[in-house]
Structure 1
Amino acid sequence: MREIIFDTETTGFDPATGDRLVEIGCIELVNRVPTGQTFHAYFNPQRAMPAAAEAVHGLSDIFLRDKPLFHHGVDALLDFLGDCPLVAHNAKFDFGFLNHELKLIGRDLISFDRMIDTVAIARTLHPGAKHSLDALCTRYGIDRSHRVKHGALLDAELLAQLYIELTGGRQIGLVLAAEDTIKAGSMERAIVSTVRPVRPARPHQASAAELERHAAFIATLDKPLWLDGVAA
């Protein structure tokens, strides 16, 4: 099964107030294994970058001013996303910005039915714990020492590792191997159990003495049920 892990960087928190998407990074997984295929792009937001947002991801107006507009790169992005499930951390945020950009250029929106939210998964597995990407990477021993600032492709790479951990991906091979071992053992036991020593047939016909004792016992019974309705 193909899945895309993705992350975005933006000018702020709410596209409804004019914030825009400025970076997207995507990682391809097939059967929960990274294939090495990625998509990464920066976009000119056509607005000033707030200082608070720049402090998070380090993307300045000067850096973004020569980057393409979103509509110039949308076809390549959508081709990479395909129609498979899309995994993001706090996915409604990323889906919201991506769909806002698509709406601005008159393109079809991406259905929320495709959304897999790793925050929701983490809340189910670890209720009451911290569910930030940093906190979960620490919990699962994922190295993020190279993460000085947020970056869409870097965060997608970390999230891919986290998603595999949250869904038990590293154990899939071990589980399958264990199941194969159990099945093989069961098959061996089944084969052994069908190999039995040949014994001679035993006589099953009652002897004359046994028939006489049985008749004497039946004679002692008072109106047995199996004779109800039988004519004397």
Structure 2
Amino acid sequence: MMIEQLSDGIFEVVMDDRKILATHNLYPAHSVYGERLIDVDGVEYRQWDPHRSKLGAMVLKNFDIPIEYDSHVLYLGAASGTTVSHVSDILTDGLVYAVEFSPRTMRDLIKLCDQRPNIIPILADANQPRSYAHIVEKVDVIFQDVAQPNQAEIAALNCKHFLEEDGHLMLSIKSRSIDTVASPKKVFKDEVKKLESDFGVEFEVLQRKELDPFHEDHLGLLARMFVDEGEK
């Protein structure tokens, strides 16, 4: 068995000629969603399933992951915490604010937070960043996985409120949540154009790749934010 570190807190474990994406388990002997626990030289890792995680898929699509061990991250669309738990593993000295709209799903997320004190659960609508502005401080990275028609607008609004200047946005765009008829490539092009020009925030797009075969009709995007002088 061999292990290679890909970036802060993210590893590739090679076992039986298979490459497995993994994070170091912050809460040893406990899985979150039934994932495999792997012991390598007395250190426990959690298998990270890219088919259940847009961020995991972005890792395997060779995105430059800007999340570091001491980052502060705002995660929009946390659901029950599948991907958030892996972000928690990475943030050994950091913090993740996990925003979720569904009260039922939030109950599962809160249970996860009982085990992982570096997750701050927030029951809120990502369309309304002012509603959680009293909780969330400035962050280094925003990751968004929200299946709403106005995905670019949600990202820009939250970046204006919470993202440090020169901070990074990681965005998963789901084309079928925006337009069920138009081709995904056209939807992706239009959403990136909106993000870059329509909301008073300037972004430099660093990487953009479709997330197949892990997630059909999804685009992953990594961007750096700049604030217009007139917006400061």
More helix by share: 1
State the structure with more CA Rg: 1
Scaled by the length of structure 1, the TM-score of the pair is: 0.24
- Give the number of the structure with larger relative contact order, counting CA–CA contacts within 8 Å between residues 6 or more apart: 1
Greater strand fraction, Structure 1 or Structure 2: 2
